[in-house]
């Protein structure tokens, strides 16, 4: 009986095709698959992943043959239509970039670098939902690492980024497996000088599968400017290696970070146009992310003022449910850097970001702020109005309090509300996560009084932004959750 039923079902489509073929209507030409050959690049990553576009960027061929010059893509991994063939442009540093446009929001696409007719499962990405919306699974997941660039330096911290990555992946395995929608890097992404070769090891060979499938959004650290992280210059043209590494060739910037990344300057993925790749913003569904430049723009008064004005314009135009800001130099830290000490100008951006930018975060409803630089994990209370030294922190007036009049933890019955007790969205949680590859030191007066949790242990952060809550977790290299907080709206 089962065989009979299957036979009847199988006959039905044949009959339909026969009717169609007998009509006089012109027949549609059969779809043809892309006919290229898949290439495995030496580096492969996704830039400006939005609701309707993405840039697939790559360089090199692991098999030593010719580089790929095009991609094919589609929603069926076993059949990439030849109509999707997209030719890449090639930059002065040899990066190929293929811009895919007209994509459908919140949809999984597969791609082949080299333009083969089928894709590997790991060569896939999901477009962002429409601005303001949540993806079909109801959650936007963000993975954040800071100062993770240890694999390119030959010292005791080499390999630390692998441990952090695997701790995160192990935690994912045990907690539902939902992959990240966004991958944020907090600067010092490649030690010691941010050369192109150091990026290859510390970024592209450390996270190859994540980078092939997740939009990457970085910010600039001091080590991205060469000079073993000691540059005080506000000008990317003054990038220099003192260890014998190569700056990038003209006509590109000598600063490899700016050539490796293709970041939005014109609001390509939402947000107000910044006109520079050094700082930018974008929307991902109901989340707005701002990446500020605390290393270069912050060191020049007029550039800093321009960035501050842009930030105000950007946040004034932002109506996202959740707003996240990232930059390298942490306003509040007592780790390997001390936010009370400017270190002869090296850490002056800590002071300028705290004094001039955190009041804007308070005024425009920023929810969470992530920095690196200090090789430690530190997470603040829900605070606002704290622009001075650590000795000036007044929890009674600057932190959201629990029912007992003490700074609230953000957990259990002390979860934060986006609109605080005074009726405005005037507070944020500040996290230092410069521990994505090494945890090194604490300052003399550790811990910082504005922090609820401080831990000298390596790890990374997972943020889950949903309709009515944002939860952030600190996951160590063992895959254990050591800290968390929730903001409700």
The contact set with Fe ion (CB under 5 A) reads 147, 188, 221-222, 373
In the complex, the smallest distance separating the C-beta of residue 222 from Fe ion, rounded to whole angstroms, is 4
Q: Residue 221 in contact with residue 372, Cβ under 8 Å?
A: yes
Structure tokens at 314: 């950007």
Residue among 43, 433, 68 at smallest CA distance from 201? 43
Q: Which CB, 288 or 373, lies closer to Fe ion?
A: 373
What is the Cα–Cα distance from 339 to 295, expressed in whole angstroms? Answer: 15
Q: Residue 410: left if φ>0, alpha if ψ -120 to 50, beta else—which one?
A: left
Structure tokens at 47: 């830039």
Q: Which CB, 41 or 221, lies closer to Fe ion?
A: 221
DSSP track, 400-420 = -B-TTSSB--SSGGG-EESS-
In the complex, the smallest distance separating the C-beta of residue 166 from Fe ion, rounded to whole angstroms, is 21
Q: Which CB, 206 or 222, lies closer to Fe ion?
A: 222
What is the Cα–Cα distance from 220 to 202, expressed in whole angstroms? Answer: 15
Q: Which residue is nearest to Fe ion (CB)?
A: 188
Q: Residue 328 in contact with residue 231, Cβ under 8 Å?
A: no
DSSP structural state of residue 357:
I
In the complex, the smallest distance separating the C-beta of residue 221 from Fe ion, rounded to whole angstroms, is 5
In the complex, the smallest distance separating the C-beta of residue 345 from Fe ion, rounded to whole angstroms, is 14
In the complex, the smallest distance separating the C-beta of residue 344 from Fe ion, rounded to whole angstroms, is 15
Q: Which CB, 284 or 332, lies closer to Fe ion?
A: 332
Q: Which CB, 117 or 187, lies closer to Fe ion?
A: 187
In the complex, the smallest distance separating the C-beta of residue 141 from Fe ion, rounded to whole angstroms, is 25
Spell out the SS3 assignment of 271-327: CCCCCCCCCEEEEECCEEEEECCCCCHHHCHHHHHHHHHHHHHHHHCCCCCEEEEEC
Structure tokens at 457: 């242990």
183-to-211, 221, 298, 326, 329 alpha-carbon distances in Å: 8, 16, 24, 12, 19
In the complex, the smallest distance separating the C-beta of residue 228 from Fe ion, rounded to whole angstroms, is 11
In the complex, the smallest distance separating the C-beta of residue 335 from Fe ion, rounded to whole angstroms, is 10
Q: Which CB, 203 or 487, lies closer to Fe ion?
A: 203
What is the Cα–Cα distance from 242 to 8, expressed in whole angstroms? Answer: 76
Structure tokens at 455: 């831990």
Which residues lie across from 382 on neighbouring strands? 429
Q: Which CB, 347 or 426, lies closer to Fe ion?
A: 347
Q: Which CB, 221 or 410, lies closer to Fe ion?
A: 221
């Amino acid at each position: 009986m089962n065989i009979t039923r299957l036979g009847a079902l199988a006959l039905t489509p044949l009959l339909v095709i026969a009717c169609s073929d007998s009509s006089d209507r012109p027949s549609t030409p059969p779809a043809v698959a892309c006919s290229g050959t898949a290439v495995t690049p030496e580096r492969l990553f996704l830039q400006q992943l939005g609701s309707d576009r993405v840039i697939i960027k790559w360089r090199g061929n692991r098999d030593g043959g010719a580089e790929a010059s095009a991609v094919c893509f589609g929603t069926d991994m076993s059949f990439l239509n030849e109509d999707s063939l997209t030719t890449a442009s090639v930059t002065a540093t040899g990066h190929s970039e293929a811009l895919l446009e007209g994509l459908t929001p919140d949809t999984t696409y597969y791609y082949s670098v080299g333009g083969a007719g089928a894709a590997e499962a790991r060569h896939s990405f999901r477009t962002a939902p429409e601005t303001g919306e949540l993806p079909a699974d109801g959650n936007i997941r963000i993975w954040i690492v800071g100062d993770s660039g240890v694999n390119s330096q030959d010292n005791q911290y080499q390999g630390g980024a692998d441990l952090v990555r695997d701790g995160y992946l192990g935690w994912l395995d045990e907690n539902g497996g939902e992959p990240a929608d966004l991958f944020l890097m907090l600067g010092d992404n490649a030690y010691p000088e941010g050369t192109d070769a150091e990026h290859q090891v510390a970024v592209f060979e450390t996270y190859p599968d994540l980078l092939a499938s997740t939009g990457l959004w970085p910010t600039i650290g001091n080590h991205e400017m060469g000079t073993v992280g000691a540059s005080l210059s506000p000008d990317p043209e003054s990038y220099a290696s003192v260890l014998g590494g190569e700056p990038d060739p003209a006509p590109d910037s000598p600063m490899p970070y700016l050539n490796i990344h293709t970041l939005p300057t014109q609001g390509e993925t939402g947000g107000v146009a910044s006109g520079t790749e050094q700082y930018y913003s974008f929307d991902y569904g109901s989340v707005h992310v701002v990446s500020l430049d605390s290393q270069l723009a912050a060191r020049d008064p007029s550039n800093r003022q321009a960035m501050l004005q842009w930030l105000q314009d950007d946040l004034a135009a932002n109506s996202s449910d959740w707003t996240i800001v990232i930059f390298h130099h942490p306003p509040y830290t007592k780790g390997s850097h001390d936010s009370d000490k400017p270190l002869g100008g090296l850490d002056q951006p800590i002071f300028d970001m705290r004094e001039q930018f955190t009041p804007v975060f308070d005024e425009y409803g920023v929810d969470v702020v992530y920095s690196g630089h200090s090789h430690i994990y530190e997470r603040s209370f829900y605070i606002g109005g704290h622009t001075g030294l650590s000795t000036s922190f007044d929890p009674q007036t600057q932190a959201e309090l629990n029912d007992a009049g003490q700074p609230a933890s953000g957990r259990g019955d002390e979860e934060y509300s986006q609109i605080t007790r005074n009726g405005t969205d005037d507070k944020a949680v500040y996290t230092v996560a410069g521990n994505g590859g090494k945890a090194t030191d604490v300052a003399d007066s550790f811990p910082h009084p504005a922090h609820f949790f401080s831990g000298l242990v390596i790890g990374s952060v997972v943020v889950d932004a949903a309709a009515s809550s944002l939860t952030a977790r600190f996951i160590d290299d063992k895959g254990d959750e050591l800290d968390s907080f929730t903001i409700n709206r």
